[in-house]
């Protein structure tokens, strides 16, 4: 007995009840493709006591409805991406607009400090200047624990950002195709729960933040039936939110402004988004659009002064934000955003790498414990200093045990520093102070004196 016939008997369908019969038939045909229909059409005709032509007509009707539903969904999605915000009718002042955005954000969540709120506010405004800037840094929203407002912030950033696309997850193919076609601002929430499992998506995010360089290469079918290589442009602003999301990938963190949130204390004032007047959510994007039209050409020509304390990558991340702030011609605001950049960059980039942290601790050890003029530092002495300092992580670095000499040597080997047998120290192994200081000078953003400076 066929599955279809068994189903009709199980449901006890009365063949004189045409409505129930049609419902059962449509339920059976919904999941059949055309090949399956061809194979089962005769048996369906017998079981439902209708002609094969009627079975085919019913199947076509079902799948035409499904196709129309899919087309409607695609149309709605396209409209969402291409809908433009009507610009504010009057001229705007960037410093006033930034204050409005920042004050609104600070009413919704608790930032670690005002510098994080300022950085995010300028970044949100920068999403409207995509056509006028050469770099589109990411924003990484993180917190030490859950319930600190990350999802709340992402939800409301969608109302501010240009062509915002918010998603709890996204496939790699959807990611590069939507960026190529619409260049939206992508907002990804809960990235700590899925991003580590999708290395291809991580690779796309690592494609870069520079215009004309954020490209991915894929094979696409052509009319001949063959495949041809094709570049997709992934340039655009992106925000990632998740608990300790900055630990997912050091490459992503290096491309991001890390914005830290805190959990609200009891009695600390927070306003729910629905309690904020609707005109704010409508007018702020309109003002941002007006700012882009009003100041965009000037931002494109501006080459802002970059703080010497920033690394090359940090300069790339912050340059568009500096340019937008500088065209406001408010020295206090320009000073504030540069102070903010130095503070956030020192906090995020240097601490994100174990190797960089080790170099910082070695530099501190040399300053505190090595006499001036001493050319060598024995490995055992360096290990003792590092493991004995309770403020360092090295006493429990090796699965709860202290850092070992071979692990230290492996970390320093990546910087080209190797231990040597020192004759004057009974051939015990150690490191040249000059080599250690040279590496510290090269890779640490802090001012590290050279050996010659120390000896003067």
* DSSP helix/strand/coil, 65: helix
Q: What is the pLDDT of residue 109?
A: 93
Q: What is the pLDDT of residue 132?
A: 95
Q: What is the pLDDT of residue 86?
A: 93
Q: What is the pLDDT of residue 9?
A: 42
pLDDT tens track, the chain, 456 positions: 344 444 444 444 444 556 777 777 777 887 777 777 788 888 888 888 788 888 888 887 777 766 655 566 777 777 777 788 999 999 999 999 999 999 999 999 999 889 999 999 999 999 999 999 999 999 999 887 788 889 999 999 999 899 998 988 888 888 988 898 888 999 999 888 788 788 888 888 888 899 988 888 888 888 777 889 999 999 999 999 987 655 566 778 888 999 999 888 777 788 888 889 999 999 999 999 999 999 999 999 999 999 988 888 899 999 999 999 999 999 999 999 999 998 888 544 443 467 888 888 999 999 888 888 888 899 999 999 998 888 888 887 776 788 888 888 888 888 888 999 888 888 889 999 999 988 888 888 555 555 444 444
**DSSP assignment string, 151-215:** HHHHHHHHHHSTTEEEES---HHHHHHHHHHH--EEEE--GGGTGGG-HHHHHHHTT-SBTTT-E
Q: Do 163 and 183 touch, CB atoms closer than 8 A? A: yes
Q: Are strands 164-167 and 185-188 parallel, antiparallel or unpaired?
A: parallel
Rounded distance between C-alpha atoms, residue 229 and residue 118, angstroms = 42
Phi and psi at 408, nearest 5°, equal: -60, -45
**DSSP assignment string, 343-376:** HHHHHHTGGG-HHHHHHHHHHHHHHHHSPTT--E
Q: Do 323 and 302 touch, CB atoms closer than 8 A? A: yes
Q: What is the pLDDT of residue 349?
A: 44
Residue 220, both tokens: 């696409």
Q: Do 326 and 334 touch, CB atoms closer than 8 A? A: yes
Q: What is the pLDDT of residue 248?
A: 64
Q: What letter does residue 293 receive in the DSSP assignment?
A: H
Q: What is the pLDDT of residue 181?
A: 87
Q: What is the pLDDT of residue 445?
A: 59
* Secondary element (H or E) of residue 420: strand 420-422
The label of the residue with tokens 């919704």 reads 108
Residue 351, both tokens: 């601490």
The label of the residue with tokens 């007509």 reads 57
Which homologous superfamily does the CATH classification assign to the domain defined by 94-351? P-loop containing nucleotide triphosphate hydrolases (3.40.50.300)
**DSSP assignment string, 254-268:** HTEEEEEEEPPPTT-
Q: What is the pLDDT of residue 76?
A: 78
Q: What is the pLDDT of residue 305?
A: 93
Q: What is the pLDDT of residue 16?
A: 52
Q: What is the pLDDT of residue 8?
A: 43
- What is the CATH number that goes with domain 353-455? 1.10.10
> E strands along 29-152, which residues?
110-111, 138-142
Q: What is the pLDDT of residue 348?
A: 45
Taking residue 410's Cβ as centre, other Cβ atoms within 10 Å add up to 11
């Amino acid at each position: 007995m066929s599955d279809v016939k068994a189903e009709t008997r199980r449901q006890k369908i009365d063949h004189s009840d045409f409505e129930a019969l049609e419902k059962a038939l449509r339920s059976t045909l919904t999941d059949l493709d055309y090949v399956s229909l061809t194979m089962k059409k005769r048996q369906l005709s017998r079981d439902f006591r209708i002609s094969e032509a009627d079975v085919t007509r019913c199947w076509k009707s079902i799948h035409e409805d499904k196709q129309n539903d899919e087309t409607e969904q695609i149309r709605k999605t396209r409209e969402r991406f291409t809908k433009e915000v009507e610009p504010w009718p009057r001229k705007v002042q960037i410093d006033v607009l930034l204050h409005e955005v920042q004050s609104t954000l600070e009413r919704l969540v608790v930032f670690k400090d005002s510098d994080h709120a300022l950085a995010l506010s300028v970044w949100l405004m920068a999403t409207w200047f995509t056509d006028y800037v050469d770099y589109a840094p990411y924003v990484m929203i993180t917190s030490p624990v859950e319930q600190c407002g990350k999802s709340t912030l992402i939800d409301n950033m969608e109302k501010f950002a240009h062509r915002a696309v918010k998603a709890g997850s996204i496939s790699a193919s959807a990611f590069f195709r939507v960026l190529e076609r619409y260049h939206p601002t992508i907002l990804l929430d809960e990235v700590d729960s899925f991003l580590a499992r999708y290395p291809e998506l991580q690779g796309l995010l690592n494609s870069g933040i520079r215009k004309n360089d954020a490209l991915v290469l894929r094979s696409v079918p052509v009319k001949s039936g063959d495949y041809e290589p094709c570049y997709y442009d992934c340039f655009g602003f992106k925000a990632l939110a998740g608990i300790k999301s900055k630990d997912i990938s050091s490459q992503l963190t290096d491309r991001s402004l890390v914005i830290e949130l805190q959990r609200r204390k009891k009695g600390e004032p927070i306003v729910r988004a629905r309690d904020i007047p609707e005109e704010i959510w409508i007018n702020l994007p309109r003002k941002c659009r007006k700012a882009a039209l009003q100041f965009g050409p000037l931002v494109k020509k501006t080459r802002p002064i970059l703080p010497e304390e920033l690394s090359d990558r940090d300069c790339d991340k912050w340059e568009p934000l500096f340019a937008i702030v500088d065209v406001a011609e408010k020295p206090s605001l320009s000073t504030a955003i540069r102070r903010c950049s130095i503070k956030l960059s020192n906090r995020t980039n240097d601490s994100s790498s174990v190797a960089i942290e080790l170099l910082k601790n070695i530099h501190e050890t040399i300053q505190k414990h090595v006499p001036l003029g001493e050319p060598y530092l024995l490995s055992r002495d360096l290990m003792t200093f590092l493991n004995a300092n309770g403020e360092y992580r090295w006493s429990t670095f090796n699965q709860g045990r202290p850092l070992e000499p071979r692990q230290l040597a492996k970390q320093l080997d990546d910087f080209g520093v190797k231990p040597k047998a020192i004759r004057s120290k009974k051939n015990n192994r150690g490191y040249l102070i000059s080599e250690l200081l040279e590496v510290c000078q090269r890779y640490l953003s802090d001012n590290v004196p050279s050996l010659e400076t120390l000896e003067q």
